Structure 1
Amino acid sequence: MTAAAERSAVETGWKFKRTDQSDDSWAPVATVPTVVHMDLLDNKKIPDPFIDTNELDVEWIGEHSWTYQTTFTVPDVPNGASVYLLFDGLDTFAHVRLNNISILESENMFLSHRVAITDNLHPSGFNHLVIDFDSALLRGRELEKKHPEHRFIAHNGETGRLGVRKAQYHWGWDWGPVLMTAGPFRPIRLEVSFAYIDFAKVDYELSYGLSTVIGKVSVDIAGSAEEVVLSLQYKGKEVYSTTTPVAADGSTILNFQLDDAKLWYPSGYGEQPLYDVVVHAVKGGKTLDTWEKKTGFRRSELVQKKDRHGESFYIRVNNIDIFCGGSCWIPADNFLPRITPDKYRSWLELMIEGNQIMTRVWGGGIYEEDAFYDTCDELGILVWQDFMFACGSYPAWTGLRDSVREEAKQNIRRLRHHPSVILWAGNNEDYQIQEEYKLDYDYENKDAESWLKGSFPARYYYEYLLPAIMKEEAPAVAYWPSSPFSGGKNSFDLTIGDVHQWNVWHGTQEKYQKYDQIGGRFNSEFGLASFPVIDTVHSMVSKTQDLHPQSRVLDFHNKADGHERRIATYIAENFQILPNHFSGSGDSPLQLWVYLTQLSQSEAVAYAYRGWRREWGDERRCGGALVWQLNDCWPASSWAIVDYYLRRKPAFYIIKRALQPIVIGVQRVHHDWSVCHARPAKSSAYSVWVASSSPRESKVDIELRFISIESGKDIRPAVIKSNVTVTANGTTTVISGEINNLTEELHVLATRILENGVTISRDVDWPQPFKYLSLENRGVKVDVHPGRYVVSAERPTKGLVFEEVDGVVLSDNCLDVIPGDPQVVEIGGSSTAQPKSRYLGFEH
């Protein structure tokens, strides 16, 4: 009698040991998925590598092979049924044996495997499953020696990583430790089935008016199914169904049409309706297997057209142009099984809280878990997905090409039903390696086979293999050869493609006030590093003597080359460093330094997002801005705007305000004080504008004030613009003028938008740099009320930051407070405690 496929997790009863140790050294494994570091920690065999410099004490783990084993029983197997082991992910060089018979060898962390084991089972009693994990570190070194024909070049980590299909950040990066994991990092399942659905693909098109979805579902079945039943459901109600016989080769195509379909939109532009696509393989009226996915229907395109700035690069969804403000994503932990669905949701809900609508899954990590993309679908977060290549010149020998081909096919198939996945890119920064080391590249040469013979063979992946697989497996999703890429030009070209703008912090180390002058058509990386929240700093340091800004431990938890000089440079250029320049009493030098690094980061991203969003209205001069980076993989100082423990840094709030649906901006023309040796400009032009992502025009009131920094008084009459029409999905210039720096006292430009008398957006422009300003006696007052703080000041106050407290959610932070304009910060829950805060300035 046939029955439905049964699948059960092989997750308990495991044990592990170092492969070369004796049999009495086995230790228990709590559960699978896991990696060896987690099990060593559970068994108290190693110190926590996230604390102090313990990372160094556990490096030996990556230099050894590790063995995992368990036993399992199999339920009765009916006649005609088959048994399989399903491995969703093995990290990385894995040899699997069942009952002393070799059943699988895998060398690619990004592959899943289905292994038929019916003939290898002990029909009664226990079956013995053993997995040997070889050292990826040592195997990488061996592969490099084995292939002297290739020039191995890598930035970050050692060059042996390039021949290994494993998460590249495990070799260490400029924000993360060297922790070479191994183990069954994704689930292992046992299946008993008469037939299974091997392949299902949903293709569709939207009618011209976007009202009708016309599509098909292609299905391949392994086994003896007779027919396939397709059901489309919305909110539990079936909206379409059809049945089709299965062809002799197990394939079938089911057509469907949905009239008045509900379309999926990015957050802020519409709803995110998701349909359940359910496919049943049936025989004799009984379901043998079921494939079920949620999907959303939308039309998307990458718009690239010539204009007076060069060539555009932006996303259009359902005929709406989308400014893609957001952040880049790295794996949220060095030990991947720690990242639960709830933790993914917490991270991604932070993006929505921060008005971010795009994330870029960076190419040195992993193709993330299903829960990540499911949550992006639900929340309306667009996903730019890199293939897993980063910062290197990758080899392309035959076996490696075959592995990459299978990797790409599997992961595109796994992710293609997600409406959130809007674009795939071939790699991260590999063309910059090609340019820096002058590797072979002739854009006009389109002979892919010839590329394999040159010094940059990875071009074969990015411009031939991956786009060919995309065309076959997900033709409706945009593909881009690299991030960044400029269509054959230099990857730093600001007129075409996307750019990683690292001439602030890296490169020429420009002042961050110049961000609006050095942006590209899409800014897919940029940022400035800072310390994490002070509680996180304490979590990674065990000894009091190491709690000072220049301690070895704190330097060890910042992996960026030259970070000491660069953090210090950006602070010294912009802020006074003397302790009496800060508010609050009792702050330690470390607390003040943490604050300054975070304020520097906040100011940098403010200039970037403010200026680049303004350019959206100029023929889509800038199509998006993705800060590097949203998150961390361990407690550290880095470019993250939220630290490892999901504690928001001040920059998070700056971006949140900059990406509001309607936002005001004010800025005077940047005057580079160091080039002219602190000589002020005679005059400074300024402008006020409104950026909008709304699909409709709106009417607002605009106020611009000129406020003395010393006295807090208005030095000119305010400019009031009433009933201003704000352009839909664009930028509206409202006010422009000039400041006479020789006759007018130092003042801020403070502007805000009022809608029906309520302030919906503020911005303040300060004379630069802050270190030249006298900011004593600001007269700051924080009134505490149930559920909110009310902040006011007698004089313009810069960067008032409430200290982050776990369990307390602030609606806003890192405030510029202007006399006569008190600001309200809503707090999650009800708190009457006086919050700890600091700002730039001090009280006598």
Structure 2
Amino acid sequence: MSTHAAKVVATLSSNWTFKEKDSKDEWLEVAQFPTNIHLDLIKHKKIPDPFFERNELKVGWVAEKHWTYRTVFPSPSGLNDGKAYILAFDGLDTYATVLLNGSEILKSDNMFIAHRIDVSKLLSSHGKENELLIHFEPALERAQQVRDAHPDHFWKCWNGDSARLAVRKAQYHFGWDWGGVYITCGPWRDIRLEEYSARLSDLVASVQLADDNKQATVTVTAHVDSPKDANIAGAAKVALSIAGDNNVSGSTLPLESTAEIKADGSSVATFKIDDPALWWPHGYGDQNLYTVTASLLGLDNTIIDSITKKTGIRKAEVIQEVDKHGKSFYFRINGVDIYCGGSDWIPADNFTPRVTAEKYRDWLELMVHGNQAMVRVWGGGIFEEDIFYDLCDELGILVWQDFLFGCGNYPAFPEILESITIESRQNVKRLRHHPSIVIYAGNNEDYQFQEAYGLTYDYEDKNPDNWLKTDFPARYIYEKILPDIVEEDGNGVFYHPGSPWGDGKKTSDRTVGDMHQWNVWHGTQEKYQIFEDLGGRFNSEFGMEGFPHIQTIDSFLSPGSSERYQQSSTVDFHNKADGHERRIATYLVENFRTVEDFEGFIHLSQLVQSEALAYGYRGWRRQWGDSRRCGGALVWQLNDCWPGISWAIVDYYLRKKPSYYTIARALRPLGVGIQREHWDWSVTHARPLPKTKWETWITSSKSKVAKGKLEVRFISISTGKDVAEPLVKDDIEVVSNGTTDKVFTGEVDNVATEPHVLSVTLWVDGKLAARDVDWPQPLKYHSFEDRGLNVRFQLPEKAEGKKRDAQGKILITVEKPLKGLVWEERTGVRVSDSAIDVVPGEEVAVDVFGLLKGDDELSWRFLGM
């Protein structure tokens, strides 16, 4: 073993070309590597920008062709029969045949599976080049062939061609109700040539944390493999160690151990860490990480191979206990209950290889700035890139990870079950060291689909073999294959059969599990003012559409286009939601006075989204203090994969919609709410209630009780004058990690009192902590002219560091209550708050970054402007 050289890895990222298979076209350079076919065709102007106007229709032909990718690379020096020479493919999208020097070495039909192929006997002799060819077949055509070969299965789905169910490919590529049909192919992840006589194939760190958090036991296991004719036992040992990152230090670190290699190729060491530095979600503590390293040593102690991974010491639990509301569903980290306000995540582009590490950071930092604790990686996309989870670890964002099934009746014939098993096990093993991942869910809405179509599901039947004989065979995947994999390889992460799911009860059951509440927008199209009354124990999807920034719309329109209005065919083409016209119109007309100018319409649609999500987040967070009645709320959706009109709260170009700020306010560590009871004006034909009850409350995620002062004011919308004496309460004990409910309650006399807002302000330790304003609904019944708005910018003369970090202030006062003050943000400038309600007698301060004196100040818009 002492003669074994160190492992050598060559990333095959250069010399790549492509062309249509079997054509006489010239080979063209790829746009980047990894890549996919659309990016490469865009580079050479073979297709127009797929996101512009209706070019989606002009590029559909790409998915109907066969494409070939090619590269050449040199053979390693000194080819040695005692070594393995492995071509490693991290991801091929999707139906791929790989040839090395004319010999077929691989056929792949699953874009989520990584492959390792021994090519020791196929490499050319040293000094000669090797040719690597990858042929990609049309995914939809092949999927349709698989579907047709299994006519006994009930092939049906929501969104896209039902053949998508037959192919292990990102399901959103086939089109969804927020994105177009862009069926990609290509080498979408890295390809490497590895040369070794022995290597470390895996490194696992299993953490057990004592109940009092005072001691952690970390069991580190390394796995060694080598060519069949080499002797693993001939290796001297594996050196294992654990060390603290950043501020993690102590006399006991690093801890080191040398372990013998067992017959099965494993080496194990157990480390005890006293007073460990724990990993916490942001806002609850530091994101302490430990570095775990394994080094494979030869007999002369030379390092043959090494693996390093970062992990965190934390205990993550999903608490499901019977209580007065049914059965709870919330998260507990290191013994602390965490209210999981956050977002659902779709892939950040239709063409994922161009999502850079910098863009991932920009997206996830938005969540931290927006006080969001959890991101749910949705099941119709991909297992995200490593950098995504690394950043969640670093930033303290909890991850809910769906397995990759969505909105359909998936088949379960033997070949696809085998592929799904490999795919799922590989990715669970890849992700298991991340402390941010706290739950796996088996699918997105497949149990809802089963209910909608009356497919067979007998919860009491616990025999998996029976499930395969029904018209809902995918139950075998969600309740047998996946839980077994997570149990064996998931490092203790909780498994949930689907989203939504509730112990075999209907997915609409609000007393158990998680739920997707779509009776606002979809379904019965309820008033958004009753969102809080529609929620369950954990609301993992809900939403309201809102138009993106006008610059985003202009990005897909020609300059001076006649299509630049809200009902144009091109604008409608960029909204894929069924019935979006009538739904947007319904919620807009029910609540606001309509306008004709495009920018005004965009602002109103954004206010509808902002208002709707405010009612959801604010009401559900209040319920956290009621025996954890609601354990979290994840909006559909954080992001977009193209410049479209959707439920996203931040658009494709990372331009924040007003709802982003509304959610951020609702999720502040200390929040305050005020709200009057709902009165359905459409049912009562605009006849007001004689009197309307109202309540105030305080929400907190803080670990310590604080003393607060609360003031409630009653302010005329038309005059700006107080219509009653303020209510003030000093020395309120603010409940820690819960709700201080009904601090004030009262009634509004709608006959004797003119329409007025209810304004509540919370001070803690003499400082303004939170504020909220409640408006009589609907807003269309009130006039918002002549608000007496005064805006002052206080900006620095120059930037001390980067201009984007230069901090100034915007100071706002009004003479009459103002609704929905939104800043027109631009690239390089950000604000700390937007979509603001302002009342007379207070000065609201907003931080602004990236503006200096002399720059164009931000413009703004408010309701009724």
TM-score range, shorter chain: over 0.9
Q: Contact 1:32/1:188 (CA < 8 Å) preserved in 2?
A: no
Instruction: Give the TM-score normalised by the residue count of structure 2.
Output: 0.95
Residue of structure 2 equivalent to 1:54: 55
Residue type at the aligned position of 1:429: E
Q: Contact 2:711/2:726 (CA < 8 Å) preserved in 1?
A: yes
Using the alignment, how far apart are the partners of 2:552 and 2:181 within structure 1?
Answer: 20
Using the alignment, how far apart are the partners of 1:30 and 1:731 within structure 2?
Answer: 53
Shift of 1:574: 0.1
Gaps of 5+ in 2: 227-231, 796-807
Using the alignment, how far apart are the partners of 1:77 and 1:777 within structure 2?
Answer: 83
Find out whether 1:770 has 2:779 as its counterpart.
Answer: yes
1:11-55 Cα deviation digits (max 9, x unpaired) = 111111111422x33211133200000000001100001110001
Q: Aligned Cα RMSD in Å? A: 1.1
**What are the within-5 Å matches in structure 2 for residues 664-813 of structure 1?**
664-733=672-741, 734-786=743-795, 787-813=808-834
- Which of 87, 90, 97 does residue 88 from structure 1 map onto? 90
**What are the within-5 Å matches in structure 2 for residues 413-452 of structure 1?**
413-452=429-468
Q: Contact 2:432/2:491 (CA < 8 Å) preserved in 1?
A: no
Secondary structure in 1 matching 2:831 = coil
Shift of 1:475: 4.7
Q: Contact 1:601/1:651 (CA < 8 Å) preserved in 2?
A: yes
Residue of structure 1 equivalent to 2:9: 7
Using the alignment, how far apart are the partners of 2:236 and 2:598 within structure 1?
Answer: 70
Residue of structure 2 equivalent to 1:381: 397
Secondary structure in 2 matching 1:119 = coil
Q: Contact 2:199/2:305 (CA < 8 Å) preserved in 1?
A: yes
Using the alignment, how far apart are the partners of 2:330 and 2:211 within structure 1?
Answer: 21
Secondary structure in 2 matching 1:573 = helix
Using the alignment, how far apart are the partners of 1:272 and 1:379 within structure 2?
Answer: 7
Using the alignment, how far apart are the partners of 2:574 and 2:182 within structure 1?
Answer: 14
Using the alignment, how far apart are the partners of 1:794 and 1:255 within structure 2?
Answer: 67
Secondary structure in 1 matching 2:680 = coil
Find out whether 1:822 has 2:839 as its counterpart.
Answer: no
1:578-614 Cα deviation digits (max 9, x unpaired) = 45xxxxxxxxx11011101100000001000000000
1:223-259 Cα deviation digits (max 9, x unpaired) = 2333111011113775210011112332222222111
Residue of structure 1 equivalent to 2:580: 563
- Which of 130, 133, 136 does residue 136 from structure 2 map onto? 133
**What are the within-5 Å matches in structure 2 for residues 350-369 of structure 1?**
350-369=366-385
Secondary structure in 1 matching 2:708 = strand
Using the alignment, how far apart are the partners of 1:552 and 1:766 within structure 2?
Answer: 35
Using the alignment, how far apart are the partners of 2:491 and 2:365 within structure 1?
Answer: 30
Using the alignment, how far apart are the partners of 1:780 and 1:757 within structure 2?
Answer: 27
Residue type at the aligned position of 2:402: D
Using the alignment, how far apart are the partners of 2:412 and 2:22 within structure 1?
Answer: 32
- Which of 238, 246, 260 does residue 245 from structure 1 map onto? 260
Shift of 1:135: 0.8
- Which of 522, 526, 542 does residue 542 from structure 2 map onto? 526
Counting aligned pairs with the same residue, the percent is 51
Shift of 1:2: 1.9
Shift of 1:831: 3.5
Shift of 1:294: 0.3
Residue type at the aligned position of 2:9: R
Residue of structure 1 equivalent to 2:628: 620
Residue of structure 1 equivalent to 2:220: 217
1:260-315 Cα deviation digits (max 9, x unpaired) = 21110101011111000001111111111111100001011100000010000000
Q: Contact 1:14/1:30 (CA < 8 Å) preserved in 2?
A: no
Q: Contact 2:813/2:844 (CA < 8 Å) preserved in 1?
A: yes
Residue of structure 1 equivalent to 2:408: 392
Residue type at the aligned position of 2:773: V
Using the alignment, how far apart are the partners of 1:826 and 1:728 within structure 2?
Answer: 28
Residue of structure 1 equivalent to 2:69: 68
Using the alignment, how far apart are the partners of 1:255 and 1:663 within structure 2?
Answer: 44
Shift of 1:204: 2.1
Q: Contact 1:153/1:392 (CA < 8 Å) preserved in 2?
A: yes
Residue type at the aligned position of 2:427: N
Using the alignment, how far apart are the partners of 1:604 and 1:692 within structure 2?
Answer: 22
- Which of 163, 178, 181 does residue 181 from structure 2 map onto? 178
- Which of 272, 276, 281 does residue 287 from structure 2 map onto? 272
- Which of 589, 595, 602 does residue 594 from structure 1 map onto? 602
Instruction: Give the TM-score normalised by the residue count of structure 1.
Output: 0.98
Using the alignment, how far apart are the partners of 1:495 and 1:205 within structure 2?
Answer: 32
**What are the within-5 Å matches in structure 2 for residues 162-561 of structure 1?**
162-223=165-226, 224=232, 225-235=235-245, 238-284=253-299, 285-543=301-559, 544-561=561-578
Residue of structure 2 equivalent to 1:584: none
Using the alignment, how far apart are the partners of 1:26 and 1:147 within structure 2?
Answer: 38
1:425-458 Cα deviation digits (max 9, x unpaired) = 0000000110000000000000101100100000
Using the alignment, how far apart are the partners of 1:338 and 1:397 within structure 2?
Answer: 34
Using the alignment, how far apart are the partners of 2:287 and 2:617 within structure 1?
Answer: 26
Secondary structure in 2 matching 1:393 = coil
Residue type at the aligned position of 2:852: S
Using the alignment, how far apart are the partners of 2:598 and 2:852 within structure 1?
Answer: 27
Residue type at the aligned position of 2:179: G
Using the alignment, how far apart are the partners of 1:354 and 1:781 within structure 2?
Answer: 26
Aligned residues: 832
Gaps of 5+ in 1: 580-588
Residue type at the aligned position of 1:840: L
Shift of 1:74: 2.1
Residue of structure 2 equivalent to 1:586: none
Using the alignment, how far apart are the partners of 1:626 and 1:267 within structure 2?
Answer: 17
Secondary structure in 2 matching 1:800 = strand
Using the alignment, how far apart are the partners of 1:468 and 1:820 within structure 2?
Answer: 61
Residue type at the aligned position of 2:620: W
Q: Contact 1:533/1:804 (CA < 8 Å) preserved in 2?
A: no
Q: Contact 2:428/2:486 (CA < 8 Å) preserved in 1?
A: yes
1:156-192 Cα deviation digits (max 9, x unpaired) = 0010000100000000000001000000000111111
Residue type at the aligned position of 1:565: R
Q: Contact 2:406/2:446 (CA < 8 Å) preserved in 1?
A: yes
Residue type at the aligned position of 1:374: D
Residue type at the aligned position of 2:346: I
Residue of structure 2 equivalent to 1:582: none
Secondary structure in 2 matching 1:546 = coil
Using the alignment, how far apart are the partners of 1:766 and 1:640 within structure 2?
Answer: 25
Secondary structure in 2 matching 1:841 = coil
1:535-579 Cα deviation digits (max 9, x unpaired) = 111111115211111111100000000001111110000000145
Shift of 1:791: 1.0
Shift of 1:78: 5.4
Q: Contact 1:428/1:482 (CA < 8 Å) preserved in 2?
A: yes
Q: Contact 1:797/1:841 (CA < 8 Å) preserved in 2?
A: no
Using the alignment, how far apart are the partners of 2:37 and 2:339 within structure 1?
Answer: 42
Using the alignment, how far apart are the partners of 1:364 and 1:291 within structure 2?
Answer: 31
Residue type at the aligned position of 2:598: L
Shift of 1:196: 1.3
- Greater alpha carbon shift after TM alignment, 776-785 vs 461-470: 776-785
Residue type at the aligned position of 1:235: D
Using the alignment, how far apart are the partners of 2:594 and 2:32 within structure 1?
Answer: 50
Residue type at the aligned position of 2:774: D
Secondary structure in 2 matching 1:388 = coil
Using the alignment, how far apart are the partners of 1:20 and 1:751 within structure 2?
Answer: 71
Residue of structure 1 equivalent to 2:798: none
- Greater alpha carbon shift after TM alignment, 211-220 vs 398-407: 211-220
Using the alignment, how far apart are the partners of 2:707 and 2:10 within structure 1?
Answer: 59
Q: Contact 2:851/2:857 (CA < 8 Å) preserved in 1?
A: no
Q: Contact 2:708/2:762 (CA < 8 Å) preserved in 1?
A: yes
Residue of structure 1 equivalent to 2:861: 838
